[in-house]
Structure 1
Amino acid sequence: MKNLDNLKTMIITGGSRGIGAATAKLAAQNGFAVVVGYHKNQQAAEEVTAEIKAGGGLTLAVQVDISLEPDVKRLFAETQRVFGGLHALVNNAGILERQMRLEEMDVARLNRIFAANITGQMLCAREAIGLMSTKHGGLGGTIVNVSSIASRTGAPNEYIDYAVSKGAIDTLTIGLAKELAEDGIRVNGVRPAFIYTDIHTDGGEPGRVDRIKDSIPLKRGGLASEVAEAILWLSSERSSYSTGIFIDVTGGR
């Protein structure tokens, strides 16, 4: 067992698949104890934690619906109970729904998207601040918000509601970086796009990346592992003078 006094702990929401799973594995390889937050897919989360444990890492899977405040509080309380503290939060969990135009969207869909993609990420950031802020007795840390290039393009005719939610996350990143600079917490964002993950299936077009890859300057889709590298850099001391910035992982688009 590693010495928990010297251990750095990272919470990754949406950590059971795609970018979250790739980040969890890379974080473990870089010495973090990793808390894998997952919504529904317990088997996928256990597969991620099993791989981390097989490599000698420390990890924990916690079921959480980040749109529910009691769930979020339980996630952070369990992290503190098991690992004694928190050093990094990766606000990765998010959803999108079937491609359509705004005039087809009902309020129930909008509420689902905004609850998961805005309120949930803000709740997680709030709880992380309570554990990491030097003003609250913490040792400082990092928050990385996973946004999307959709925050800049608007995702017309596909999922403008998702784009709006990611625009809010960009604003959160900028404001929170300034708010927490004196608390020892750096806040940054990554904006992926055209990444091979199953989120495109959720949008109703699993082959979306292949359809548009010729319009990407690098002429290919991206890998979840490539986004994870950006997240880990922002979560580490290698980016110690960066806060309120974004890394676009978009193949040049």
Structure 2
Amino acid sequence: MKIDGNKIQAEILDNLKKQEKPKGILVAVLVGNNEASQSFLKIKKKVAEELGVDFRIYEFDENISTNKLREEVVRISKQKSVRGVIVQLPLPGTINRDRVLKAMPAEKDIDALNENSIYKAPAVLTGLTIIERQGLILNNLSCAVVGAGFLVGKPMTDYLIGKVKKITIFEEGSDLRELVNYDLVILGTGKAGLVDDSNIKDGALVIDFGYYEGKGDLSLENISEEINYTPTPGGTGPVLVAKLFENFYKTL
């Protein structure tokens, strides 16, 4: 069964519209002209407009140094009118990502990009929302996480350890045929079509965060109706954005 992320997003945004709106600015920092990053920011901007949130994008040249970018993030974050800061990833390879992210104050890091953030990562919140909506209980689930990346695999694994019955991380070179033994499969490699339904057992839940040129890690070609899955596009993406704004509303 296909899980409609746009429907979930609409419900989350409808709930936010009933709440008091933060009296401040949400800032996104964009470095370079990565097309995927620009596309994701357009989606965030559209949601901000729907909610009436003051959303501003600060753009910097891809040749900016780590120190200069860090200084800019500190300068932006110190503004009292700024309630939340997003550093849009990925950053150019010449920049020390961790040094830049650690420049954000914990109370303004709504994307939970550094360990001091007071918020849960939107990927974790998205996964939990989808799991809950499927009526599943974490401690009954065997879980496979495919990809140990910074934005999805690592935060999901860190959160789920000790909460699920069993968890296994599948990294590059792992035998994906073993995925058939798991109730919950979380994908986050960015390798389009890496997994197909022959790797997934009937009744399992697949939460696909992967994205490459409009496709997810899960191949949707002739996918079995017995598998519960988030499609790409229209699956985790809309929910991720909604959860980011949920975090922003907590800055009140």
TM-score interval for Structure 1 and Structure 2 normalised by the shorter chain: 0.3 to 0.5
The structure having more radius of gyration, on CA atoms, is 2
Structure with bigger RCO (C-alpha 8 Å, 6+ apart): 2
